[in-house]
Structure 1
Amino acid sequence: HSVAYGLISYQTAYLKAHYPVQLMAALFNGSVNNQDNIINYISECKSMGIKVLPPDLNLSSKIFTVEPTEFRISDITLEHFERDFSNSKQLGETFHQDLLEPLRKSLKRLKNMDFKDETEFLKIIAKNTEAENELNQTFLLNSDSTFASWLRCEARVEVIRFGLNAVKNVGGKAVDAILKVRSEHGELKDFMEFMKKVNLNEVNRRMLETLVKCGAFDSIHENRAQLFAVLDNALHLAQEFQRAEDPSQDSLFSLMDAGDAKATETLLEFPEVRNWSKRERLKQEKESLGFYVSGHPLDSYSSEMKLLATTTDKLKEGIHAEKNKISLVGIIVNNTVRLNQSNAKFAIATVEDTRGTLEFPVFATVYEKDGELLESDEPLLISGRVNYRDDEVGMFVDNIRRLSEIRETEARSMSIKINSDPLSQETISLIRSTLQKYSGEKPFTFLVQAPDATSVTITPEERINFSSALIEELEELLPLQTLEFSYSSKNKLH
């Protein structure tokens, strides 16, 4: 029995070390009906640097799948290079031992750099490899070479794509109808063309609404707010078109001449509305999928999660002792209000963080002063004491506060981390004007990552106010960057 468990543990550890994306995709597929596991796996993927992408009508299968996106030399790539290239005889006659060391140095030099195109990737490796003779260059640049095949396997960056079967309200027959359109007509490029071709007896408005909310149409039409606004009109036009195609049915188009019918059948005008904000997109994703995928409302509070709180999974693992003072950063996802024997209100609430969920009571004294916060969908800091009962872990809550208010009043400084991708002049101007609009008394810095892996810190003289409005505007301007906040030691984890 112990040997069997030991073997499974060894096999799982090997897969996690060498094939982490494939392992996590398998775990997702085995836990489709377990929300806590899915939440935990999404967070685990984030910590491992694995992207989990939302459903996509052009790319998703029925189940969670692995798909390549780009190329990157990682520590695992370098380990596998030593493993696979130590015996050059296994790699064919075109590989020579004198190329091994220059190639090793080249790969180390290019570590953690991203490359979208395979041909360009091979050219840069060749350029960085101290090899001049024509044979070696042919070996490096030839897309059919053993080395190129090895790179496709070991250096490609893979992501996990959400499966359509895991989308709420979208049944198996609807998924089959969507995949049938894709297999018969190839890549879908126009929303109305998809509507005309899909079997509307299997795909109804509620399903389409859910697919829009979770971002499944983003590769066709990125503005979800526009798609949501025209769903009824699109469905009506598509139904009329399909009736016109059916010789046994009369439709609006049968009353027109051929030219007018052709011009009208696909007329779908999108209103001039802005796309949903990041917060609204995430809210709609949660509603349609059951969990956040493209991001999480708590991503904006990564500093607070690290410095001020523990997590639900650590609490459930028993890391914290009975009566220990702790805090959780999370969002209330369920709240039931009741009356105690004195007719005072108390609540049974469930909080969700990036690692799972936890149910806990909020007794009358705390509910009286903080109960209204349980009805909001804002990120909260919930403080209390650890409680164990019948092998179940929970907490007695002492205090509930809005994280945005804690940040605005108690954060000492903010650091805006900018990666090595250059920002446009327009974006820089917008950042400057946004920061000036929220002037205050708190210092901030820019930490700019240079292409050579060094960084530069810039500390402006201006001071700002860490309001939630400022943070939301900065996150819209800099969706790929990170905002970090510092706190004094008295605020740290408790």
Structure 2
Amino acid sequence: EWIPDFIQGKQKNKKISYLHPKLKPILERTYGVVVYQEQVLQIARDLAGFTLGEADILRKAVGKKIPELLEEQKEKFIGGCIARGILKTAAQKIFAFIEPFAGYGFNRAHAACYALIAYETAYLKANWPAEFMASLLTSDLDDIDRIAIEVEECKRLGIEVLPPDINESFSTFTVVASSLKEKMPKIRFGLKAIKNVGGNIAKAIIHERKTNGHYKNLEDFLRRIKSKDLNKKSLESLIKCGALDKFGERNQMLGSVERLLKFLRYAQKESKSNQGNLFENLTVPLGQEGSLHLEERETASKDQKLTWEKELLGLYVSEHPFKEFEFLFKDVICPCGKINPRAIPVSWGDERGKSPYQHIDGEGINVEAKNLARVAGVITKVQKIITRGGELMLFVKIEDSTGNLEVLVFPTVYKLSPALFKEGKIIFVSGRVSEKEEEIKFIANEVQEITIENVPELTRTFKSKGDISTLGGKIHSSFISKPLRQISNFIYPHTKNFGAPPPPKEYPNAVPTKLGWHGVYISLPPIVKERLLEELRIIFSSHPGEHKVCLVVTDRYKTKKIETNFNIDYNKEVKERIEKTVGLDSVKCSLD
């Protein structure tokens, strides 16, 4: 709370005052604010007559907030001040002035060291952000929670964190050199970060690559690695995490792992014996040009790949499974990594509007124990506990792209849906924030599973006034002709089209309408402002006709296709007015 005063004093924007003249020589260099522990000792010595040993006891009492000792030291301090000619009221104010110091105080030597480190690391991050973040990730290699936070920071800085790659990864996190030249910085996961891939095999892979160049294919990789540490467990881990994606499809390689191991054993045997090619008489199936044949398998799904990433790397790298839901629920849930009982926006709280929330600077609110909030994420861990009453309760860790949160599920809530609490499930939790012993937990009152099918229903329940999100703004329900449930396929292109025929080839992004594929398609930017929508509404209303209006909103991740309840008379004048409002080439018509 004294930081603003310190800054204002340093910048000479305020006149510095002291509660007593004797404080000036002690606090003058820090602009009237107690910053260092040594200053507390000096105040106690010069104003209250303490010895330095007694002053240190006062410092400990203030720092550790021991009630009995603090009260004892307070009386002693005020008494000492009075004995040295300081008024009692002034002495009380001085003690109250130094008491909050415990929240931030350092001794001066430590403060100087930390300040220097903070300055140096800030400089490195500002000027070499990719190199700095790669080093930071490497330093926290064994701390998955820190790694997750730092990967998110990389994304904020525009640095892409890539999964391991057999031809690019080193032992630790490293910057991809070519990405710096392209001014699109990327950091590659290290091989030692992969579960079951130890330092020896990582060292062997990197040494061989440096000596004889990149691995050309799966057979080349298996022939060249001589280490006994390349076994079934390490090979499966390399495949599952995506390190060998350049050589084939994951499920195919995984299904052929016994065949690959047999090939590996013979290759190592051939290398040791230094004999000619023994593979001519092997039963290991080889394709043309001596390449291995992999067994036919169904392609691994995105969810399966993400599960493997989480299992072997400790976090989701290529994409978070909750990512496709985040933009829909962003206005009604609190991100797991930002839960704080002292700063939760109103829209994340009790939908009944009965909670006694109080705004702080227009951004956050104080949340009391009885106040409700909402969170959502993927279940990553479930711990079962038997209560004193012999009932089952759970500690459930959920995670979104911002971090994780522990959710307490008491027996009454657990009994309502016991099958729901499994790792990998995506859930929506209404409950309250609890902070005991400085540890934040979320106590569940109600839990619902989130699926592609029930997203529209949940969205309709929690979005106010029927609004739905575009990829960055809102489109009011007056634009939508169908119930949200019926247009969920337009929000999620990979769901079924409810029997509609495929779109015409010339309009692959077209929206199926009540009039078939006969319509006007308007491309909107990810962030849609209210004024733009109002201008479009005026244009549509003033030119009624037979052409159905459909909105297509796209960002780098997905396309949302939304049918509106407007039919317009499409002509050159209308097209020009829409393009003037939205942008050139933003309008397409099936008759153009």
1:289: how far off?
A: 0.9
Looking at structure 1, the residues matched to 150 and 561 of structure 2 have their Cα atoms a distance apart, in angstroms, of 26
Which consecutive residues of structure 1, in runs of 5 or more, have no partner in the other structure? Answer: 72-151, 418-424, 450-454, 465-473, 487-494
CA offset digits 1:253-288 (Å, max 9, x no partner)? 4868xxx99989945212344432222111111111
1:69: how far off?
A: 4.5
The match for 2:372 is 325
The match for 1:297 is 321
Q: How does 1:339-354 map to 2 (within 5 A)?
A: 339-354=386-401
1:378: how far off?
A: 2.5
CA offset digits 1:218-268 (Å, max 9, x no partner)? 2333x2122212221122122123323433899974868xxx999899452
Looking at structure 1, the residues matched to 226 and 246 of structure 2 have their Cα atoms a distance apart, in angstroms, of 20
User: Whose relative contact order is higher, 1 or 2, with alpha carbons under 8 Å and at least 6 apart?
Assistant: 1
Looking at structure 2, the residues matched to 387 and 364 of structure 1 have their Cα atoms a distance apart, in angstroms, of 18
Change (3 A) 1:13 1:293: same
Of 250, 256, 281, which residue of structure 2 is paired with 1:224?
250
Change (3 A) 1:446 1:272: farther
Change (3 A) 1:448 1:18: same
Task: Give yes or no for contact 2:208–2:224 (8 Å, CA) kept in 1.
Answer: yes
Q: Which amino acid aligns with 2:269?
A: R
Of 231, 244, 248, which residue of structure 1 is paired with 2:270?
244
Of 418, 430, 442, which residue of structure 2 is paired with 1:371?
418
The match for 1:337 is 384
The match for 1:34 is 143
Which consecutive residues of structure 2, in runs of 5 or more, have no partner in the other structure? Answer: 1-109, 345-366, 461-466, 473-502, 527-531, 541-546, 563-592
Looking at structure 2, the residues matched to 216 and 236 of structure 1 have their Cα atoms a distance apart, in angstroms, of 20
Looking at structure 2, the residues matched to 201 and 50 of structure 1 have their Cα atoms a distance apart, in angstroms, of 36
Task: Give yes or no for contact 2:550–2:561 (8 Å, CA) kept in 1.
Answer: no
1:447 equivalenced with 2:447 (yes/no): no
Task: Give yes or no for contact 2:133–2:154 (8 Å, CA) kept in 1.
Answer: yes
Change (3 A) 1:243 1:27: same
When the two structures are aligned, how many residues end up with a matched partner?
Answer: 370
The match for 1:203 is 230
Q: Counterpart of 1:308 in 2: which secondary structure?
A: coil
Q: Which amino acid aligns with 1:292?
A: Y
Higher Cα Rg, which structure: 2
Looking at structure 2, the residues matched to 337 and 2 of structure 1 have their Cα atoms a distance apart, in angstroms, of 44
The match for 2:241 is 214
Change (3 A) 1:70 1:33: closer
Looking at structure 2, the residues matched to 280 and 340 of structure 1 have their Cα atoms a distance apart, in angstroms, of 35
CA offset digits 1:352-402 (Å, max 9, x no partner)? 222332223211111111332212522211121111111211121111112
Q: Which amino acid aligns with 1:210?
A: S
Task: Give yes or no for contact 1:298–1:353 (8 Å, CA) kept in 2.
Answer: yes
Change (3 A) 1:427 1:192: farther
Q: How does 1:464-479 map to 2 (within 5 A)?
A: none
1:173: how far off?
A: 0.7
Q: Which amino acid aligns with 1:447?
A: L
Change (3 A) 1:66 1:481: same
Q: Counterpart of 2:331 in 1: which secondary structure?
A: helix
Q: How does 1:139-218 map to 2 (within 5 A)?
A: 152=181, 156-218=183-245
Looking at structure 2, the residues matched to 201 and 228 of structure 1 have their Cα atoms a distance apart, in angstroms, of 19
Looking at structure 1, the residues matched to 287 and 560 of structure 2 have their Cα atoms a distance apart, in angstroms, of 53
CA RMSD of aligned residues (A): 3.9
Task: Give yes or no for contact 1:285–1:293 (8 Å, CA) kept in 2.
Answer: yes
The match for 1:489 is none
Q: Which amino acid aligns with 1:407?
A: V
The match for 2:495 is none
Q: Which amino acid aligns with 1:61?
A: F
The match for 2:92 is none
Q: How does 1:125-140 map to 2 (within 5 A)?
A: none
Looking at structure 1, the residues matched to 446 and 399 of structure 2 have their Cα atoms a distance apart, in angstroms, of 17
Looking at structure 2, the residues matched to 186 and 267 of structure 1 have their Cα atoms a distance apart, in angstroms, of 19
Change (3 A) 1:340 1:245: closer
Q: How does 1:266-415 map to 2 (within 5 A)?
A: 266=290, 268-304=292-328, 306-315=330-339, 319-320=343-344, 321-323=367-369, 324-375=371-422, 377-404=424-451, 407-409=455-457, 410-411=459-460, 412-413=467-468, 415=470
Q: Counterpart of 1:319 in 2: which secondary structure?
A: coil
Of 138, 158, 161, which residue of structure 2 is paired with 1:49?
158
Q: Which amino acid aligns with 1:247?
A: S
Looking at structure 2, the residues matched to 297 and 337 of structure 1 have their Cα atoms a distance apart, in angstroms, of 24
Task: Give yes or no for contact 1:414–1:445 (8 Å, CA) kept in 2.
Answer: no
Task: Give yes or no for contact 2:522–2:549 (8 Å, CA) kept in 1.
Answer: no
Task: Give yes or no for contact 1:240–1:251 (8 Å, CA) kept in 2.
Answer: no
Looking at structure 1, the residues matched to 222 and 186 of structure 2 have their Cα atoms a distance apart, in angstroms, of 28
Q: Which amino acid aligns with 2:241?
A: C
Q: Counterpart of 1:219 in 2: which secondary structure?
A: helix
Looking at structure 2, the residues matched to 329 and 432 of structure 1 have their Cα atoms a distance apart, in angstroms, of 32
Q: Counterpart of 2:441 in 1: which secondary structure?
A: strand
Q: Counterpart of 1:157 in 2: which secondary structure?
A: coil
**Which deviates further from its counterpart, 351-360 or 244-253?**
244-253
1:56: how far off?
A: 0.6
Looking at structure 1, the residues matched to 561 and 436 of structure 2 have their Cα atoms a distance apart, in angstroms, of 36
Give TM-score, length-normalised by structure 2.
Answer: 0.55
Of 143, 148, 171, which residue of structure 2 is paired with 1:62?
171
1:322: how far off?
A: 3.6
Task: Give yes or no for contact 1:60–1:162 (8 Å, CA) kept in 2.
Answer: yes
The match for 2:8 is none
Looking at structure 2, the residues matched to 343 and 462 of structure 1 have their Cα atoms a distance apart, in angstroms, of 60
CA offset digits 1:394-439 (Å, max 9, x no partner)? 121111112335522135546479xxxxxxx999766559x68xx9
Looking at structure 2, the residues matched to 414 and 304 of structure 1 have their Cα atoms a distance apart, in angstroms, of 6
1:40: how far off?
A: 1.0
Q: Which amino acid aligns with 1:214?
A: C
**Which deviates further from its counterpart, 5-14 or 296-305?**
5-14
Q: How does 1:86-125 map to 2 (within 5 A)?
A: none
Looking at structure 1, the residues matched to 216 and 232 of structure 2 have their Cα atoms a distance apart, in angstroms, of 20
